[in-house]
Structure 1
Amino acid sequence: MKKISSLIVLFVVAVYQLFAQFPNSDNNFRRPLKEVLKDIETQYQVKLRISAKDVEGKVLDYADWRFRPGLEETLKNVLAPFDLVHLPDGAPDKFKIEGYRYHLRTVPEAREILDHLAGKYSDKDSWEVRRSALKSCLPEAVRLSPLPQSPGAKPILTPKRKMDGYTVQNIALEVLPGVYVCGSVYQPAKIKGKIPVVLCPNGHFGEGRYNKDIQARCAGLARMGAVAVSYDLFAWGESALQFEPEAHRKSLANTMQVLNSIRLLDYLLSLDYADPDRVGITGGSGGGSHSILMAALDDRIDVSVPAVMMSAIHYGGCPCESGNPIHLCEGGTNNVELAGLFAPKPQLIISDGGDWTANVPELEFPYLERIYKFYGADDLVENVHFPKEGHDYGPSKRAAMYCFMAKHLRLDQSKVFSGDGQLDESTIIIESADQLKTFGANGEKLPANALIGFDQLEEVFQKAFL
């Protein structure tokens, strides 16, 4: 009996050793993902930057069967089962491993998508069919169809501050019961007759709408003769008095930012000196994607200048930009096609060499220009590209925007350019964050009915549609 037991033990050990060396179908050739990635580094002579949380405890089925002659396909085969991707990491032989980023495409993928979209229409008539379908889908995609009823409350306004050639006045507008959007309204010091209106949505730049570049942009437009408004991103700035910062990365943030823009435009166009036939919008980064979306949604907008955002390789990584299924409309779309919905109205695309708009002149802009040519309006769409600049809305980009807005909104660009044609914003005052707040430095003037917390907003939002 002991001899039989010993034989059984020896047999089990032998089988275990055999399986350890030659995995069979029962364990699916499984190997720890961490080990597989180390093999890839060795075999392909590359360096992979890996976060422990992304690979710890993960085991890959049929691991060695996923290897191919090329690195690119091997990495895709190995990472895809775990919703991981590889991205360039500063050198040709370096990559970082991260979670799947739904909003990003490679340049070849972007080109393929644009070619696919372009194949859906070949002339104005076929484009109009596509355009109509997309415009019908977007309001539902952002969850604003039908538009909820406005509370109808008067805006809360601070006293005007007089500057050189313009004034600044802070505003809080109730967009849903107990929900406020705050911003600052910049107007010409002297108003004669009807003047243009320009929305200036903020992007994810440091300091939010208190950022010196957005202040300069709005003040410059006011000096030129427009009334311009900058306003907080949802759960940023004074909106953070009501909603926790994490709420900014909820899909409802996208909805609220659209609603904020609509309500502010409603207010500005109610002013007796506002010209409803001269309405512009311009923003950078997240404000650029918001400009594209608003220009596609709101037919009151006449001129659009999205900066450092129109791209086929980046759809906007924040849920406040792409958390709603706007890019899934009609079988899939992107920010380039959405910008095309604005045709044939005047549109300036500002791009640079230091971010995801680096390929705009060769990749995205020709696609957009083709749509404008359907209307014989390719002279109304322009691209200004700054190959040596990065992701900002700095002076050179503002100068390009000023010229375009002056041309199409009939503004006086001499108010921001010197006699020799150089940008001159020396008369513009950059204020402190506290000076730009409507509810006081510490939120002490927040209205008594103001909601506190994202859960309360969700309840109010649901009731708005009952």
Structure 2
Amino acid sequence: MWNPDSIMENLYHSYENKRLQQKRAENSEQTKIRLKRHLIKSLDIALEEQDELRPLLLECTELEDHIRERIELGTVWGVRVPAYVLLPKGMTKRTAAVLALHGHGYGSRQIIGLHPNGTENTGKLDLHGNYALELVRRGFIVVVPEIIGFGDRRLAADQKDGQVGNSSCQTLASHLLLYGISLAGLRVHEARRALDYVLSREDVDPARVGCFGFSGGGLIAAYTAAIDERIKATVLCAFVNTFKGSIMQIRHCIDNYLPGVLEYSELPELLELLAPRPLFIESGQQDPIFPIETVEVAIQYLRQVYAEAGAAEKLGVHLFEGVHEVNGSQAYPWLIEALES
């Protein structure tokens, strides 16, 4: 046989054995310190300095049940990032806030109730389920950055001829690798700058800040929360799995691949960095790209981690009848409780 299947399988198990040996030589706290150190290194974008936020209000629209602002803020390399800020009406005190990170699609507008051209979308919900809109309607301040590679932040070549819903992930990721930078690392850095903005707002309660991510946005939410404990509670939709069971078995976007990660961790082990903070996992039982069998493997691992941390009640799970989509029926009330004052 000339195909490399057995080589790849043996390589995975070889690295798995190395990780197990390393973990056996540590206690749980040493393991978390090591994993966090390695994850930070993997996500590093070799910054000498970062840009000032300098938030600028671009537009403000008063709607029936909330106020929608669009702002821009600085992150790195002179790039300005657009973001929507959804504000509940009638706030009289500091309020819980959520950083909402969209998945693959047409960008930030897709989760706040807008069409790609910015007009109001009153039609049937798509797979994203307008979750930023659902969150502001439940009383959260919601900040929705446009993730690089999507919507208005695609490369010019990917916006030609009125293209909608495509991404610049392949080009951005492959070009960034030439500089030793991962697209995941850049996106996590920008998410953390958006978090800086959230915490700079006088109407936000800094002790009640959460993160909600779907699919590719779930990856950003997971890694951001893993290394940044300013995030007090996290909801991950259609993302939690094992590398072996999902991105190594099924064709995924290149933005899912973090160079060198299997040298020190499988995905469930990275997610243990969120413990004992509240974590909610939501996944469709018929999701074709994050198979339910390995979702359950990851959940079982995390249940043990949370139990050992004395925080079993802080791990929430909803495996619903559905595909690669946001459900939210249990995630929204869970997040309200997790971030209650």
Q: TM-score if structure 1 supplies the norm length? A: 0.59
Q: Identity over aligned residues, as a percent? A: 24
Shift of 1:357: 3.7
What residue in structure 1 maps to residue 131 of structure 2? 217
C-alpha spacing 1:170/1:242, structure 2 compared with 1 (3 Å): farther
1:304 is the counterpart of 2:203: no
Cα offset, 1:398, TM superposition: 1.7
Q: When the two structures are aligned, how many residues end up with a matched partner?
A: 301
Q: Note the residue ranges of structure 2 that are not aligned, 5 or more in a row.
A: 114-125, 159-167
By how many angstroms is 1:165 displaced? 2.2
**1:208 is aligned to 2:138:** no
Question: Residue in 1 aligned with 2:37?
Answer: 136
Question: Structure 2 CA distance, aligned partners of 1:266 and 1:258?
Answer: 12
Structure 1 residues 360 and 346: alpha-carbon distance in aligned structure 2, compared to 1, 3 A threshold: farther
Matches within 5 A, 1:142-153: 142-144=43-45, 148-153=48-53
One-letter code of the match for 2:315?
A: V
CA offset digits 1:129-155 (Å, max 9, x no partner): 11100111122111246x543322522
Aligned match of 2:257: 322
Aligned with residue 277 of structure 1, among 207, 230, 239: 207
* Aligned-partner residue type, residue 338 of structure 1: L
1:253 deviation in Å?
2.2
Residue 293 (structure 2) pairs with residue 359 (structure 1): yes
Q: Which residue of the other structure, out of 61, 67, 76, is the alignment partner of 1:176?
A: 76
Task: Output the aligned Cα RMSD.
Answer: 3.0
Structure 2 equivalent of residue 332 of structure 1: 264
Change over 3 Å in CA distance of 1:190–1:120 after alignment to 2: farther
Compared CA separation, residues 357 and 190, structure 1 to 2 (3 A): farther
Report the Cα offset of residue 223 of structure 1.
2.0
Deviation at 1:324, TM superposition (A): 3.7
SS of 2:93's equivalent?
coil
Q: Contact 1:254/1:319 (CA < 8 Å) preserved in 2?
A: no
Tell me the secondary structure at the aligned position of residue 3 of structure 2.
Answer: helix
In 2, Cα distance between equivalents of 1:150 and 1:121: 35
The one-letter code of the counterpart of 1:294 is: T
Quote the residue 2:304 is aligned against: 370
Question: For each residue in 1:86-110, what CA deviation from the matched residue of structure 2 results, as whole angstroms up to 9, or x when unmatched?
Answer: xxxxxxxxxxxxxx9x8xx8xxx89
Q: Tell me if the contact between 2:129 and 2:325 (Cα under 8 Å) persists in the aligned partners.
A: no
Shift of 1:198: 0.8
1:228-267: CA deviations, max 9, x gaps? 1222221221112668624333344222211110111111
Considering Cα pairs closer than 8 Å and 6+ residues apart, tell me whether 1 or 2 has the greater RCO: 2
Equivalent in the alignment of 1:415: none
Per-residue CA deviation, residues 408-466 of structure 1 (Å, 9 max, x unaligned), is: 1128xxxxxxxxxxxxxxxxxxxxxxxxxxxxxxxxxxxxxxxxxxxxxxxxxxxxxxx
Distance across 2 between alignment mates of 1:118 and 1:305 = 28
Confirm or deny: 8 A CA contact 1:198 1:226 kept in the other structure: yes
- Give the equivalent residue in structure 2 for 1:399: 329
Aligned to 2:322: 389
Q: Which digits, 9 at most, give the CA deviation of each residue in 1:6-29, with x for residues without a partner?
A: xxxxxxxxxxxxxxxxxxxxxxxx
Report if aligned partners of 2:173, 2:183 keep a CA contact under 8 Å in 1.
yes
Q: Secondary structure at the match of 1:261?
A: helix
Amino acid at match of 1:319: I
Q: Which residue identity is paired with 2:147?
A: L
Deviation of residue 118 (structure 1)? Answer: 6.8
TM-score, structure 2 normalization? 0.78
